[in-house]
């Protein structure tokens, strides 16, 4: 290439324009046969590291949501003197949040001591660090709360000790409900606070979706266990309506290439299938009185949508053009 070539002259023009204006609009110089391919990113390679999560993490999101919101339902049941419902809800919270969720999280980490290492520090700006502490605090409230509630329900200790057990159960269930709400929603904050374009673009929607799905799933499990009361039916209608609204919003609020993993790839179909199952399908089934089918539909939709969000993250993180497009949002 000589100094009188068109490309060299164009480079000089670009330099002068950049020096005067600080920015150069339009195209640069395409060198025919040059070594740099016309691909976005660094030679077409991913700009950010896609998530390496396997099947344990979407299940952890699913069971964590059920556990956390079961504690919330248990608190409401205890306030309105539905002792049997509160007991069953606390059992679900303890099993799903203290047994199943830590097992899934440890399986993903690979070694149990890695979970304990996460508790060596407290980083309030780290969603992952806060998640480990939230799960631990939830278990510290849910298990003693369940024990106190069972002892109070059996009335094994009459008198002042029984009143003390009732007070302790109420305080611990309140703590479990507070940390349970955080447990059900922090996972949406966790994936939204990343550089993955499809997650980051919907960082406001994700905590709402995860919390609503967890509440509806907890109510669905209780209904499948035989608790058919108007309050649970109302929760079912409410959460299905919110999920329907989120489905509509997700279809409207598009960010172009930033979240095309949701709208232009097969991974996005998992999210839409999940939202349809726990939104319009569950709503219609509940409206016509098919409560067990509505509960099953909501549970399946919540699980599928969580699998879908993890799959979308892997596709979106591997797309360098999506990363660049997400910087505008």
Q: Is the pTM of this model over 0.85?
A: no
pLDDT band at 273 (very low <50, low <70, confident <90, very high): very high
pLDDT band at 23 (very low <50, low <70, confident <90, very high): low
Q: What is the band of 36 on the pLDDT scale with cuts at 50, 70, 90?
A: very low
* Nearest-angstrom CA–CA distance, 153 and 75: 15
* Contact in structure between 199 and 316 (CB atoms under 8 Å): yes
- CB atoms under 10 Å from CB of 4, counted, come to 7
- Tell me the pLDDT tens digit for each residue of 176-189: 999 999 999 999 99
Residue 68 is predicted with a pLDDT of: 95
Please, which pLDDT band fits residue 121 given cuts at 50, 70 and 90? confident
**What pLDDT was estimated at residue 45?**
67
Which pLDDT belongs to residue 329?
A: 60
Q: What is the mean pLDDT of residues 4-32?
A: 67
What's the rounded mean pLDDT across residues 154-163?
78
- pLDDT at res. 28: 53
Quick one: average pLDDT of 129-146?
Answer: 90
Q: Can you give the three-state secondary structure of 105-153, one letter per residue? A: HHHHHCCHHHHHHHCCCCCCCCHHHHHHHHHHHHHHHHHHHHHHHHHHH
The pLDDT tens digits of the residues spanning 68-99 come to 999 999 999 999 989 899 999 999 999 999 99
pLDDT reading at 122 higher than 60: yes
Q: 254-266 burial string, b = 16+ CB within 10 Å, else e?
A: ebebbbbbbbebe
**Quick check: 162 pLDDT over 60?**
yes
Contact 277, 300 (CB under 8 A): yes
Strand partners, 45: 42
């Amino acid at each position: 290439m000589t100094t009188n070539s068109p490309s060299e002259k164009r480079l000089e023009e670009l330099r002068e324009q950049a020096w005067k204006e600080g920015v150069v609009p339009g195209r640069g110089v395409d060198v025919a046969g040059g070594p740099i391919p016309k691909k976005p990113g660094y030679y077409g390679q991913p700009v950010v590291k896609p998530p390496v999560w396997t099947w344990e993490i979407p299940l952890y999101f699913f069971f964590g949501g059920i556990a956390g919101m079961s504690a919330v339902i248990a608190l409401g049941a205890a306030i309105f003197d539905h002792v049997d419902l509160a007991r069953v809800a606390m059992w679900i919270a303890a099993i799903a949040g203290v047994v199943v969720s830590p097992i899934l999280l440890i399986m993903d980490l690979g070694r149990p001591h890695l979970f304990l290492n996460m508790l060596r520090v407290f980083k309030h700006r780290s969603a992952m660090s806060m998640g480990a502490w939230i799960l631990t605090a939830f278990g510290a409230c849910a298990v003693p709360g369940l024990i106190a509630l069972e002892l109070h329900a059996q009335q094994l200790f009459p008198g002042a000790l029984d009143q003390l057990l009732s007070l302790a159960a109420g305080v611990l269930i309140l703590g479990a409900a507070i940390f349970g709400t955080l447990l059900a929603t922090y996972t949406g904050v966790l994936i939204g606070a990343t550089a993955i374009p499809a997650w980051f673009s919907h960082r406001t929607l994700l905590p709402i979706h995860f919390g609503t799905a967890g509440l509806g799933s907890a109510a669905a499990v209780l209904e499948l266990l035989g608790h058919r009361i108007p309050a649970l039916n109302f929760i079912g209608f409410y959460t299905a309506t919110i999920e329907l609204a989120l489905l509509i919003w997700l279809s409207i609020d598009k960010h172009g290439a930033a979240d095309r993993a949701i709208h232009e790839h097969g991974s996005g179909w998992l999210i839409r299938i999940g939202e349809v199952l726990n939104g319009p399908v569950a709503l219609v089934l509940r409206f016509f009185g098919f409560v067990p089918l509505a509960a099953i539909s909501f549970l399946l939709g919540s699980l599928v949508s969580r699998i879908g969000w993890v799959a979308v993250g892997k596709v979106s993180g591997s797309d360098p053009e999506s990363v660049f497009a997400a910087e505008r949002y």
